[in-house]
A and B are shown apart, each in its own frame.
Chain A
């Protein structure tokens, strides 16, 4: 309906305002200097996260509760963008937001499988609730009822009418046979990215171009990481790796995935695809330690793609998408910082895993 200048004037103004609320590298440098968790908490209160942290009572000032509050800010940003996005782009943003619901769904299923030894029903839900992303009314998951249902099958029965019903009904046969959540989680991931990609493909013009670039870059990272993990950690066969990955992306093509699945050298494929990422060979010599570092490098590349969306014509969905991805990365950075400070990790151990701190972002 309303796209172009007219459709994006309001959302563009709102996103710019929210973008200005993101932390700058200087903010990160200041936060990083905090000697412990409490100092970090106090430093965070003077940022845009302050209004989310002000309400915390003294007894709730712990990493778990602070992380939930930090996630709330991202949830608010998503809700704001979804409300204001032009109608034709809204399904894409909503599908992007489902990423956190998929995370919640996996957490609920894992809780059902792994916490049968916990004391009471109340205790299980209390523990699960604290790790869920605070989606609020945006969520279609009856999370508490699922946890309290006590079995994966009963929990999945409660998903009738949700977007996950169809996917999980196929995967449930395998879960029943194997009693392992892996097939359920893979099915959820594949379905999520397929839908996201399909929503991006439905757009036209600059909306399509920018969303393919941002969503495609995220997809590339996931696809490559899955491929390597399936080969290295799960020792899956070529046909399984192909079926558990996706044949599309921004830079990564099906032929690349198939080459790795068939046993090609990781590093050579990577270097061909991403010549600008240095030291891939060294990182992949030991995939177990190198992969997390490679993922950080990927995310930093995606950050650059997102920042590029802010340059030029501002009337397209790329800017809101880029902002949401950047906000998510900021949340990840803050979680790293909070966990590092609360467990007293020295800076040299956690700093390599910070996405934003090592980048020079332009001023808001």
Chain B
């Protein structure tokens, strides 16, 4: 739970005769993250025939899908049974050829008929605006002095076409308004026909072209086209009936074929990425340690001669290519989503999901503490997670998170003694509006603790990764931690003097803090890079000139002090929001009292209280959520979490089509 699942790099040497059985086990078990290992194969064995096979199956699968599409059949797998051997391509191809020949002739005829119908309807559509004109359309095209073009144009090109013709005299009519395809008529002098034609062509205006057989006035042509449409519709109905009969006839066979080809394609695709030797295959991939034994047992049952070498991968060194499987319980999935939004942990890193499952609700609840408001947020979260409201389905993944944050806010509501802003109903441990300094102090204290945890986690990550330069000399490494502790001591001393007018630490501790701060500034900030280079054996220790190094070191030091200060103070917002929350609700009550004339009763009072509470929930619940996220992403994660791991995607032979 606290770390990505331990992975084993698994290398299998599979005898050719057991290839399919082993691939089936790998696919069905669904735990093997395959790596392309073709490079481990012998190159003199000729081209990889499995790639050709996979392409063959893929091609056939598409053909079956196309036939099913033509027959209006949904892509279901009939009798999705286990497939223990690769289906033979040739008989399946012959079966597909046979069905395709049966279906293709009719579906091609149908497609041609539909195209012709579409064309006829388009011609009819274009003629409609001039249906009342008593002119011979053909004659208009043959005018001696005018050049005219009637046709359809993409709506967005109309104004550009007019602009392009601004230097030649012309008349432009939109005969039919249409948001996408208006029908337009353009007329100009025949002497400018070349300009008009170029403009028309470049504006993608498709001129109306009437077949020879449609002669006469628009009304006469209209009647002829309608008759042709009627005949075309009859043909389409007949062809559809034929296709429905064919669909019934071939349904079962097609679904069976689709399943066989689909599974064979997946297997062939997987094998195409195996390394091929003379009589064996090399298969390489990743398997989580927890399921390795089960998989090994199944593989040995499938092949007696299989060689299995599993190497557990230590979370040290360069493990960036190890896929990362996060083994968090389902209940933590909302927090895993938060972590993954920032970055996927690397293999050697701590997975912070479990940790932020505690800190996130804690900070949220502290900022938004109110029993009533918390319960409303929790109820809203439940509504979102249950997917009852269609408009909120897109947020379903956040529902669980809101429920937990709502519960935390409720608990803090009991601590603050606040229910929908009523502060006299419940007893309280602390009241933010009355103990401002205390609340802000606690918030900074929590921040200091969290930042220290962050630095300690970074140290732990460095130890796990055996990254000693990072452990010792990183700005969040050991020296960086001592620097931060010294800073905290001095910070508390100064705040104590300024605000409480008292000395917190004895002078010996303060002197030690100054000395440590100076020393660790040298180690963790100024000479951090050269020291890391020295430890890594990297030369030169200082890249670039010494002058640039000096300037850079100075600014890094300033930046480090500012960031220590701002990171720590950033947590003040936890207390500040708790105070603001109390302030907002008391403002609601002030307004309610004004409306009701100073009494705590009456319709006006309750309307303001309800609307005010809704306003506070709507405004603050969201802002506090963002602030909590910010504190985690900017302040906390940046101390120890690098991310950049690649996802674990095991090979799986689906028994149902992928949605």
Contact = CB atoms under 8 A, between A and B. Distances in A.
A51 B346 CA distance: 11
A332 B51 CA distance: 32
Interface stretch (A4-12, A101-109, A271-279, A345-353): A4-12
Contacts of A191: 156
B36 A57 contact: yes
B302 to A, nearest CB: 27
> Which residue among B59, B201, B320 has the maximum number of chain A CB atoms within 10 Å of its CB?
B201
Interface in A39-56: 50-51, 54-55
B539 to A, nearest CB: 15
A146 to B, nearest CB: 12
B199 A247 contact: no
A166 B180 contact: yes
Given A50-B320, A187-B204, A194-B156, A243 B622 contact: no
Interface stretch (B131-139, B159-167, B524-532): B159-167
A307 B637 CA distance: 26
Given A13-B629, A13-B630, 11 more contacts: A6-B622, A10-B626, A13-B634, A51-B320, A51-B644, A55-B646, A60-B39, A170-B152, A239-B164, A240-B199, A254-B163
A68 interface: no
A320 to B, nearest CB: 15
Interface string B48-68: 000110010001001000000
Given A170-B154, A242-B163, A6 B626 contact: yes
Interface of A: 2, 5-6, 9-10, 13-14, 17, 50-51, 54-55, 57-60, 84, 121-122, 145, 148, 166-167, 170-171, 173-174, 183, 187, 191, 194, 236-240, 242-244, 247, 254, 258
B202 interface: yes
Contacts of A170: 152-154, 204, 206
A237 B39 contact: no
A239 B342 contact: no
Contacts of B318: 54
A243 B158 CA distance: 10
Contacts of B342: 13-14, 17
B204 to A, nearest CB: 5
B622 A174 contact: no
B576 interface: no
B623 A238 contact: no
B362 interface: no
A17 B637 CA distance: 12
Interface of B: 36, 39, 51-52, 55, 59, 62, 152-154, 156-157, 159-161, 163-165, 167, 180, 195, 198-199, 201-204, 206, 318, 320-321, 341-343, 622-623, 626, 629-630, 633-634, 644, 646
A2 B622 contact: yes
A145 B66 CA distance: 11
Given A10-B341, A170-B206, A174-B204, A247 B160 contact: yes
15 contacts: A5-B623, A9-B629, A10-B341, A10-B629, A13-B634, A14-B342, A17-B342, A50-B320, A60-B39, A167-B154, A236-B202, A239-B195, A243-B199, A247-B160, A254-B163
Contact of B202 (A54, A121, A244): A244
Contacts of B152: 170
A240 B622 contact: no
A145 B62 contact: yes
A247 B157 CA distance: 11
Nearest to A170: B204
A169 to B, nearest CB: 9
A332 B201 CA distance: 34
B55 A122 contact: yes
Contacts of B163: 242, 247, 254, 258
B198 A240 contact: yes
B226 to A, nearest CB: 24
Contacts of A59: 39
A10 B163 CA distance: 45
A258 B165 CA distance: 12
Nearest to A84: B341
Nearest to B206: A173
B528 to A, nearest CB: 16
Instruction: Give me the 10 closest cross-chain CB pairs, A-B, nearest first.
Output: A243-B202, A239-B164, A242-B164, A239-B199, A9-B626, A240-B202, A57-B39, A170-B204, A243-B203, A13-B633
B454 to A, nearest CB: 16
A239 B198 contact: yes
B474 to A, nearest CB: 16
Contacts of A84: 341
A306 B567 CA distance: 28
B279 to A, nearest CB: 23
Contacts of A145: 62
A57 B55 CA distance: 22
Contacts of A243: 157, 160-161, 164, 199, 202-203
Contacts of B59: 121, 148
B467 to A, nearest CB: 15
Nearest to B55: A122
A239 B341 contact: no
A10 B626 CA distance: 7
Nearest to A171: B204
Nearest to B619: A6
Contacts of A174: 201, 204
A148 B167 CA distance: 46
B160 A242 contact: yes
A237 B194 CA distance: 11
B342 to A, nearest CB: 7
Contacts of B201: 174, 240
Contacts of A247: 159-160, 163
A237 B203 contact: no
Contacts of A10: 341, 626, 629, 633
Contacts of A2: 622
A51 B201 CA distance: 49
> Which residue among B164, B199, B629 has the maximum number of chain A CB atoms within 10 Å of its CB?
B164
A54 B163 CA distance: 54
Nearest to A21: B644
Given A51-B320, A238-B167, A243-B164, A5 B202 contact: no
A250 B12 CA distance: 60
Contacts of A9: 626, 629-630
Contact of A14 (B36, B52, B202, B341): B341
Given A10-B629, A145-B62, A171-B204, A55 B154 contact: no
B39 A55 contact: no
Nearest to A195: B156
A24 to B, nearest CB: 13
A140 to B, nearest CB: 17
Contacts of A55: 321, 646
A6 B623 contact: yes
A84 B629 CA distance: 14
B320 A54 contact: yes
A50 to B, nearest CB: 7
Contact of A54 (B52, B203, B321): B321
Given A166-B180, A170-B154, A240-B198, A5 B626 contact: yes
A5 B51 CA distance: 51
A244 B623 CA distance: 47
Nearest to B154: A170
A183 B180 CA distance: 19
A254 B630 CA distance: 45
A13 B638 CA distance: 11
Nearest to A173: B206
Nearest to A87: B394
> Which residue among A59, A191, A240, A242 has the maximum number of chain B CB atoms within 10 Å of its CB?
A242
Contacts of A167: 154
A44 to B, nearest CB: 14
Contacts of B341: 10, 14, 84
Nearest to B39: A57
A239 B165 contact: yes
A6 B154 CA distance: 40
Nearest to B634: A13
